[in-house]
């Protein structure tokens, strides 16, 4: 059964059969690779649900991301769909990055925070920046400054996450 076909139908307000796909993929690298192809599907609903399923599968099996690190790095730069972006922000912290790659990720996520209208994307990007700054301390001061700014000027969800993260500094 083609995993992407299970992710079709309905609209972006529904997760469809994502949980079933997560069970099918399990920790199988071949099925995970098949799932990853959904991130570039022509259909927005398949891209969104694929990103959701990838995020859910890798909560338990983050090692499945390793062979796809370059693909995810590329998608981080190419994805414009907010439902995909919010999951990509969650995924980038599950992999090890060089300082140069991390700097590029910080630049992309900061750009999303500046331009996105989706509070979910912004909150997840803030969380990812904070998590990356714990691994790559050179970004810490800039992230703290950004969190302080968003604590004052963001939406209620953004202010709340910024306050929570600043308590952990």
Is it the case that residue 117 has pLDDT exceeding 90?
yes
CB proximity list for 115: less than 8 A, separation 6 or greater: none
pLDDT of residue 65: 96
CB proximity list for 58: less than 8 A, separation 6 or greater: 64, 65, 91, 94
Tokens coding 48: 């969104």
Same domain, 125 and 167: yes
pLDDT classification of 9: cutoffs 50, 70, 90: confident
- Report pTM: 0.93
Domain end (from 60, 95, 130): 95
Same domain, 38 and 103: no
pLDDT of residue 17: 87
Same domain, 7 and 76: yes
Q: Which of 158, 131, 160, 162 is nearest to 145 (CA)?
A: 162
Domain of residue 160: give its range: 97-169
Same domain, 140 and 90: no
């Amino acid at each position: 059964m083609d995993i992407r076909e299970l992710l079709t139908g309905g609209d972006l307000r529904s997760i469809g059969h994502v949980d079933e796909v997560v069970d099918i993929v399990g920790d199988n690298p071949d099925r995970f690779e098949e799932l990853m192809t959904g991130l570039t599907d022509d259909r927005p609903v398949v891209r969104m649900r694929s990103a959701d399923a990838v995020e859910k599968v890798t909560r338990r099996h983050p090692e499945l991301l390793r062979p796809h690190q370059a693909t995810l790095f590329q998608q981080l730069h190419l994805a414009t769909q907010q439902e995909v972006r919010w999951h990509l922000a969650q995924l980038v912290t599950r992999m090890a990055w060089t300082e140069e790659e991390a700097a590029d990720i910080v630049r992309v996520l900061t750009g999303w925070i500046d331009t996105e209208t989706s509070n979910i994307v912004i909150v997840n990007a803030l969380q990812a920046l904070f998590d990356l700054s714990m691994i790559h301390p050179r970004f810490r001061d800039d992230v703290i400054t950004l969190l302080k700014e968003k604590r004052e000027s963001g939406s209620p969800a953004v202010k709340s996450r910024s306050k929570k993260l600043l308590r952990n500094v």
